[in-house]
Structure 1
Amino acid sequence: MMNIHDPAAELRASVGIAFEQAHAMPVSVYTSPEFLALEAEHVFARSWLCAGRADALREPGDYLTMQIAGEPVLILRDREGQLRAMSNVCRHRMSVLLEGRGNTRVITCPYHAWTYSLDGSLRGAPAMDMNKGFCKEDNGLPAIRCVNWNGWIMVTLDADLPDPHEQLSEVDDLVGYLDMSSYVETFREEHHWNTNWKILAENFMESYHLPMCHGATIGGAVDLRKMTCPEGRAHFNYHHIMKDDSIALSIAHKDNTTLQGDDRYRTWLMAIYPSLLITLTPGYFWYLCLTPSAPGEVDIVYGGGLHPDFAVDPQADVHFAMLKGLLDHVNDEDRGCTERVWRGMQGRLARPGPLSHLERPNFEFARWIASRMP
């Protein structure tokens, strides 16, 4: 008999049926601190996670910080122009070294002023000359795997995980013609919402909510009867929609002769498991990177930018300012919807309901998470 107090067992039971009979994930999978701890160990610590765009770190010494399953991580551009990730914990008394993002010539601990070079090697340690067992060469910052995948900074704590170019090769099969690596980031923000990270991820994966949740913005142009959700792949799911020229940046630039036919109008929505969510059009992109901090709290990197054709267009700033206003409004609508779902889950009568055919990506996401549980 299934232990009803075991969220992982509840999840396995809920996804062990055909999609046509599927329900949303059990409430405990979202609300249980114990399940969040399992996700930290078996999902986030063993997956490729996105820290944002590689062009956010343009110059030597540019850095970002992030947390992976509670592990402080530092990502930077070294003096040779290479991306590096390393522990963001001092090797002396274990203070966190850098916060947020910025640029630095050296990494200096704010506690006792131990300093590290941009390659992570220990450069200086004041007043350590009388410690006979101290060796600078033994106290560099541990390296963490970091890869530039199509312009995205991908980081993992798992030493054995296949490279994202291999693991996510099917993404290239779908959208390689757009060359994500060439897109130029124009904004990057950090937000904190009061909802579970999976609620937000699922919200991105389905367009079933668009007519109602986004009624004041983009929902009026949506026809649910014309939507389809193709079967996802092993490490991501996706769907796409066709856009018209009502938003100038949604379609290929007028001077672009490479994109032909429907490829000039197609917008892709991709959820790279577990927590990178990408909207990619021929003119612009935007994305979310999710990091849970509690069952009902999620830290979000929200960024976006332009296809290179538009990045050099004299009118691009005007078009993108209008687009950014729309994206911010849509994001606020999503925040309202996903935070209401979290509040609803606290009710004694909250129960997962049956899924629409338009929520196939949610079911596949649930199966993926279940497959990671011990």
Structure 2
Amino acid sequence: MTAHSSPVAELAKTMSAPFEQAQAMPVSVYTDPAFLAEEQEKIFAKSWICAGRADGLKNPGDYLTMEISGEPVIVLRDRDGQLRALSNVCRHRMSTLLEGRGTTRAIVCPYHAWTYSLDGTLRGAPAMELNGSFCKEHIALPQIRCVDWQGWIMVTLDADLPEPAEALKEVDDLVGYLDMSRYQELFREEHRWNTNWKILAENFMESYHLPVCHAGTIGGASKLKDMVCPEGFESFNYHHILKDERVPLALAHPSNTTLEGDDRKRTWLLAIYPSLLITLTPGYFWYLSLMPDGPDHVKILYGGGLSPEFMEDPKAPEYFDALKALLDHVNEEDKGCTEKVWKGMQSKFAAPGALSHLERPNYEFARWILDKVQA
């Protein structure tokens, strides 16, 4: 980066080239704290962010907490069984309220015990009767937009953002036949890696790295000459591959009589902007939902589960244990590769190179980021 340029200007210059002459994003786009501040304000605060699977909050009072662009958020099932997102900041002295995940009958502030119902209304506040300005009925936790889209909990701080069903209608066109809403989550974990969030997102978007980065697991079954990267859509990119019987759960269950031909063995890889990354097969799914934690770290929500047919198979737990072990190993390989990229970016010799035709999704992702930060 020159003394007179900015990461946004550098990215704009890079993206002025057509895909056939494309380069990777400039180093400053990953390493500059000011650019991350732009991303937080113009991307994460104005996008639908995935908080996990809706079936992870099954019962009234089940909750999780998250931060979106630095904003503390509670997501929960209210007493009527509806998904709801609320500000996780007390309306008294502004303490955060809940931490982690769990189940609660009410939201109680750990500072002065102001107590809120699951719909966010204030239920009780000790020793406030002498303050004439205090009116319990006028106090509630601010509501934040939250929807169940195809079984995913999607949350946004933007009051005007189109609904996911509208913004992501092409996802339904592509994979609606698999009905993601019926898959059941069997694990959910949180990790933190020493890399930039975009490095990990880009890693998911391309399969160019599979033969080398994943040589110890799935790399041997990955042939570069067979890979195809179609053009993506406004809100996401994708590619797909055909699996064989080496991963039985990747194929349609024998009891599934609706899928035919290649659809019985097709694996979809969906990168929903900015940071929901889904691998979807006829038998199982797994996902990453990313949140930047400084330029040099990314918080990762990592989960997955099975299709309805496999959930009913008595051997499903045995199959899934083997699959989970494989996914964990693959994840560790990705951790090593993406952290090496971050380390390399700290070099004074670091410079982006030309993109392969197998990295079209990375090019589209870069264009999407540029559009948002320039808005």
- State if a TM-score over 0.5 links the two structures: yes
Alignment check: 8 A CA contact 1:3 1:9 kept:
no
Q: Secondary structure, in 3 states, of the residue corresponding to 1:299?
A: strand
Q: Secondary structure, in 3 states, of the residue corresponding to 2:241?
A: strand
Aligned to 1:165: 165
In structure 2, distance between residues paired with 1:139 and 1:195: 41
Select between 35-44 and 130-139 the one with higher mean Cα deviation.
Answer: 130-139
In structure 1, distance between residues paired with 2:50 and 2:12: 27
Displacement after TM superposition at 1:4 (Å): 4.6
Displacement after TM superposition at 1:5 (Å): 3.8
In structure 2, distance between residues paired with 1:123 and 1:315: 48
Aligned to 1:29: 29
In structure 1, distance between residues paired with 2:181 and 2:306: 11
Aligned to 1:17: 17
In structure 1, distance between residues paired with 2:180 and 2:142: 30
In structure 2, distance between residues paired with 1:93 and 1:293: 26
Aligned to 2:42: 42
Aligned to 1:358: 358
Per the normalisation by structure 2, the TM-score is: 0.99
Aligned to 2:254: 254
Displacement after TM superposition at 1:138 (Å): 2.2
In structure 2, distance between residues paired with 1:222 and 1:297: 29
Listed as ranges, the matches of 1:190-201 within 5 Å are 190-201=190-201
Counterpart code for 1:107: I
Q: What's the CA shift string for 1:136-190, capped at 9, x where partnerless?
A: 1222000000010000000000000000000000000000000000000000000
Distance 1:268 1:4, change over 3 A: farther
Counterpart code for 2:253: H
Counterpart code for 1:274: P
Q: Secondary structure, in 3 states, of the residue corresponding to 2:350?
A: coil
Q: What's the CA shift string for 1:102-134, capped at 9, x where partnerless?
A: 000000000100000000000101011111001
Counterpart code for 1:180: M
Counterpart code for 1:181: S
In structure 2, distance between residues paired with 1:153 and 1:316: 25
Displacement after TM superposition at 1:3 (Å): 6.5
Counterpart code for 1:57: L
Counterpart code for 1:125: A
Aligned to 1:176: 176
Q: Does 1:334 find its partner at 2:324? A: no
Displacement after TM superposition at 1:351 (Å): 0.1
In structure 2, distance between residues paired with 1:238 and 1:132: 58
Counterpart code for 1:239: H
Aligned to 1:156: 156
In structure 2, distance between residues paired with 1:64 and 1:14: 39
Displacement after TM superposition at 1:16 (Å): 1.3
Displacement after TM superposition at 1:342 (Å): 0.2
In structure 2, distance between residues paired with 1:312 and 1:4: 61
Aligned to 2:304: 304
Q: What's the CA shift string for 1:199-227, capped at 9, x where partnerless?
A: 00000000000000000000011110111
Per the normalisation by structure 1, the TM-score is: 0.99
Displacement after TM superposition at 1:193 (Å): 0.4
In structure 2, distance between residues paired with 1:127 and 1:5: 57
In structure 2, distance between residues paired with 1:138 and 1:229: 53
Q: What's the CA shift string for 1:44-69, capped at 9, x where partnerless?
A: 00000100000000000000111000
Select between 205-214 and 242-251 the one with higher mean Cα deviation.
Answer: 242-251
Counterpart code for 1:297: H
Aligned to 1:283: 283
In structure 2, distance between residues paired with 1:3 and 1:222: 43
Counterpart code for 2:102: G
Counterpart code for 1:336: G
In structure 2, distance between residues paired with 1:192 and 1:93: 30
Aligned to 1:104: 104
In structure 2, distance between residues paired with 1:303 and 1:333: 17
In structure 1, distance between residues paired with 2:236 and 2:230: 12
Aligned to 1:71: 71
Listed as ranges, the matches of 1:177-216 within 5 Å are 177-216=177-216
Q: Secondary structure, in 3 states, of the residue corresponding to 2:174?
A: helix
In structure 2, distance between residues paired with 1:55 and 1:259: 25
In structure 1, distance between residues paired with 2:344 and 2:247: 35
Alignment check: 8 A CA contact 1:4 1:10 kept:
no
In structure 2, distance between residues paired with 1:114 and 1:12: 49
Q: Does 1:295 find its partner at 2:276? A: no
Alignment check: 8 A CA contact 1:76 1:84 kept:
yes
In structure 1, distance between residues paired with 2:89 and 2:293: 19
Runs of 5+ unmatched residues, structure 2: none
Displacement after TM superposition at 1:245 (Å): 1.1
Displacement after TM superposition at 1:346 (Å): 0.3
Aligned to 1:140: 140
Q: Secondary structure, in 3 states, of the residue corresponding to 1:313?
A: coil
Distance 1:36 1:69, change over 3 A: same
Distance 1:252 1:4, change over 3 A: farther
Alignment check: 8 A CA contact 1:236 1:273 kept:
yes
Q: What is the identity percentage for the equivalent residue pairs of Structure 1 and Structure 2?
A: 70
In structure 1, distance between residues paired with 2:312 and 2:29: 46
Aligned length: 373
